[in-house]
Amino acid sequence: MVVYHNPKCRKSRAGLEYVRKHDPSATVVEYIREGISPEEVKKLISMLGIRPVELVRTQEDYYRENLKDTHPSDEEWYHILAENPRLIRRPVVVSNGKAVIADPPEKAGIFFNNQ
């Protein structure tokens, strides 16, 4: 299990805490600090089963100032999100080829038989 996590985000911390209660060995990826590639973004979006724009935090200043009234292609979104990882909704929990945005944290329960 992998958790894409931003330690500065309250919701991300809550999601990680929930996951760790069920899987203490979960791997944590601090994608803002460590970086994330366009290919990783594409893979996450595929595992989530969503369109790239659905992974975007539209309340971020960068989005409002630069992207609000634009319509990037999916490929462009992969690069935009990799270059601006703060735009990625969090936390994203990945297990066995599937992913979920764990906001609220209980959404990660699908990986733990809804415990």
Q: Active-site residue numbers?
A: 9
CA distances 78 to 10, 29, 58, 107, 111, Å, are 25, 18, 15, 24, 26
CA 115 vs CA 38, 105, 112: distances in Å: 33, 12, 6
Tokens of 22: 């069920």
CA 55/CA 45 separation, integer angstroms: 7
